[in-house]
Amino acid sequence: MDNNINNNGKKIVLSGIQPSGDLNIGTYFGALKNWVKLQNDYINYFCIVDMHAITVRQDPSVLRRRTLEVAAGYIACGLDPEKCALFVQSHVPAHAQLAWVLNCYAMFGELSRMTQFKEKSEQHSDNINAGLFTYPVLQAADILIYNAHLVPVGADQKQHLELSRDIAVRFNSVYGDVFTVPEPYISKEKSAKICSLQEPAKKMSKSDKNVNATVLLFDKKDDIIKKFKRAVTDSDTAVRFAEGKDGVNNLMTIYSCATGKSYDEIEREFSGKGYGDFKLAVGEAVADALMPIQKKFGELMSDRTELEKILKDGAQRASRRADRTLAKVYKKIGFLQI
């Protein structure tokens, strides 16, 4: 019997977002929206992974501000602090403590193969620090410390999830069933990878320097519409989902996420119309979908005391479970208990 399932038969979900840039519609449609859907059926842990963010240089005051903004973003997007422990990763020291242990069960070779490490090493060639290299081990610790069953993420995190599973299996094979082996939850829909509006073969990224490439969760309606008008498409004119039409495919995916319409419905809606009409409709639909989130975000950011209370409570709830796992791990590996 899995002793991490509670009396109501609920399993555990964990996920996190780095406060390394402003939240955008990629993070929202690819991850956060799924978390909101899952929250009623699971025991939920959602963190803001500030320790991961410092693998790239951060301005301390900006990092502090963004950490709070991501927390407010979680709630504004629909996470309920009563149903979910919402917390900051560095407020639960057991993550870092377990990460050190797991570093001794992760192999140099497997970490060297991580695509994100290779990409970030190229982007930050002046700062290829050890934290960037062991980043996925800290991510494994985030997950395994709660014995999470399910980890809802976008498609780009699949490799890190596989590594977390490998580390769990390796550890369990030495010490018995200590960790639950987590399953990734990656939406089967195209929203698992929302792409850049300027380079539609690439993922929309928080750290993109081109402001027209990403739509931020807190962009104004006019800016959202402008960004979609400038979105890169192709020389065809028909709105249809097809091979080689990355830009249009991406816009159709975003429109589908914002309206709930299927690709067939979208093709019918814009049959005989050009890209201009379509881009305007996508911009308006996204702005409308974000409006209630933006309103709620504003309210939350104006009451910092309440936000801090939620994060403190979340960290306490998370620590209770995390500390239990850490104690078990320390005992298993032979750390002296006094």
Q: Could you list the residues that contact ligand TYM (CB under 6 A)? A: 14-18, 26-27, 30-31, 49, 52, 139, 142-143, 151, 153-154, 156-157, 160, 192-194, 203-204
Q: Of 46 and 270, which CB lies nearer to ligand TYM in the complex structure? A: 46
Q: Of 158 and 332, which CB lies nearer to ligand TYM in the complex structure? A: 158
Catalytic residue among 11, 33, 120, 190: 120
Using CA atoms, how far apart are residues 17 and 23, in angstroms rounded to an integer? 9
Question: Contact, 224 vs 233, CB < 8 A?
Answer: no
Q: Of 65 and 273, which CB lies nearer to ligand TYM in the complex structure? A: 65
Rounded to a whole number of angstroms, the minimum distance from the CB of residue 307 to ligand TYM is 19
Q: Which helix (H) or strand (E) holds 336?
A: none
Using CA atoms, how far apart are residues 70 and 77, in angstroms rounded to an integer? 10
Phi-psi region of 290 (alpha: psi -120 to 50; beta: other; left: phi over 0): alpha
Q: Of 155 and 238, which CB lies nearer to ligand TYM in the complex structure? A: 155
Length of the chain counted residue by residue: 338
Q: What are phi and psi of 85, to 5 degrees?
A: -80, 115
Rounded to a whole number of angstroms, the minimum distance from the CB of residue 58 to ligand TYM is 13
Using CA atoms, how far apart are residues 178 and 200, in angstroms rounded to an integer? 42
Task: Read off the tokens for 40.
Answer: 């009623």
Closest CA to 24 of 299, 300, 224: 224
Q: Of 204 and 307, which CB lies nearer to ligand TYM in the complex structure? A: 204
Residue nearest to ligand TYM (CB): 30
Catalytic residue among 158, 203, 261, 328: 203
Catalytic residue among 206, 227, 245, 279: 206
DSSP assignment of 15-70 equals: EEE-SSS--BHHHIIIIIHHHHHHTTTEEEEEEE-HHHHTTS---HHHHHHHHHHH
Using CA atoms, how far apart are residues 169 and 110, in angstroms rounded to an integer? 14
Please compute, for residue 249, the number of CA atoms within 13 A of its CA located in the half-sphere on the CB side: 16
Q: Of 11 and 52, which CB lies nearer to ligand TYM in the complex structure? A: 52
Rounded to a whole number of angstroms, the minimum distance from the CB of residue 142 to ligand TYM is 4
Active site (annotated) includes residue 203: yes
Q: Of 55 and 233, which CB lies nearer to ligand TYM in the complex structure? A: 55
Rounded to a whole number of angstroms, the minimum distance from the CB of residue 116 to ligand TYM is 7
Task: Read off the tokens for 123.
Answer: 């982007």
Rounded to a whole number of angstroms, the minimum distance from the CB of residue 154 to ligand TYM is 2
Rounded to a whole number of angstroms, the minimum distance from the CB of residue 229 to ligand TYM is 20
Rounded to a whole number of angstroms, the minimum distance from the CB of residue 182 to ligand TYM is 9
Active site (annotated) includes residue 120: yes
Using CA atoms, how far apart are residues 305 and 262, in angstroms rounded to an integer? 42
Using CA atoms, how far apart are residues 68 and 311, in angstroms rounded to an integer? 9
Catalytic residues: 120, 203, 206
